Structure 1
């Protein structure tokens, strides 16, 4: 039997032009920094942008934004918070604070479905989603339920990270989901040859974001973040991600 929330999700997202989801084969590659910075950059341009954090086990986008959201307002559903540059925000943090969330298996998918179904985004140019890291059923479920989704993969240029990312691409391919491209994060100037690594699978490399030591000082300060070197390197990659080729 079809979950009734699936049709509700499609109704909720009916006025969202593009859903841009950031995914990764493993944690620790900077996926949340990329997704949050991308959302801020797009909002600063004057676009109507939302950011949805579905990384339940490692929710951190609220920390990058520098907010401590309380319980959200409700009006026929849950209303997102307005943050820097008018960016609309929602995730699990408003309900759990900084407490860990012990969700496993089907409970993760159920929580994702519930959050997708209850949040009222209204008209958006772009909804950015910070996906759960790793190669799991939750990633495929989100991609199945959100019809207008475009997926950006985040990896480092290390062999380990790239190989795990390629496994994620294989899983997505099996679900007939084609990623829009890959962002290589934390590149090193003395390792230029690694900026365009040889991949076993056909996947577009959108570019490399260098390792930026001062990024740590920009966390929680959106104005500084979007004006920094990390954001400057990421910005040129966003056009191909939100504009279908």
Structure 2
């Protein structure tokens, strides 16, 4: 059984009065439960379009998107968010800056639920939030009452990851979620990410420009070029690759 299946998914846009541009070109992809797939590709390869199509941010021109066997092609982004979680490249996009860490986590706890007028009872949840944040190891647990906008970029991204995985999603999309961080912080967050995906057996697609991460993490590696998946390498094929192999291969497909 597949978690997500893309069938001939195509996205075209009008790039002028008489010019049509293809962003995704008949993409076929099957994601199985527990897959951790890293996605590589140059600028304009279709990485963001792929994620936007899966999450519902962007309507596809042709094709089908199936989640757990159910056709979600016409489903809104809001309805897909109950099953699909996403962490963005920009630390500011995944959290509400004026709300505290605890308040952001409370919102994440209610993802996909109908909300009415009721007492929040955040205070009763704080011991759970403290333990949750403490496991991250970057001091986030000491900022439960701090507005999220006052956190460091690394802490904010760690919070975004916690929020995205607090209620186990059917699919987790990591959209270059370490790209805006310094190398040390990016490495720490990537280790936290891998641990959480492994421990909770999450199914994940991760866009990255860090080739070392693409080789080190995940059980599959996808390479995109001009809106097409030109390579889909499994665990054994990945294990045979070196960074030099990937660099040469990447240069060949881009140039």
Scaled to the shorter chain, the TM-score interval is: 0.3 to 0.5
With normalisation by structure 2, the TM-score equals 0.36
Give 1 or 2: higher strand fraction. Answer: 2
Higher helix proportion (structure 1 or 2): 1
Query: Which structure has the larger Rg over C-alpha atoms?
Result: 2
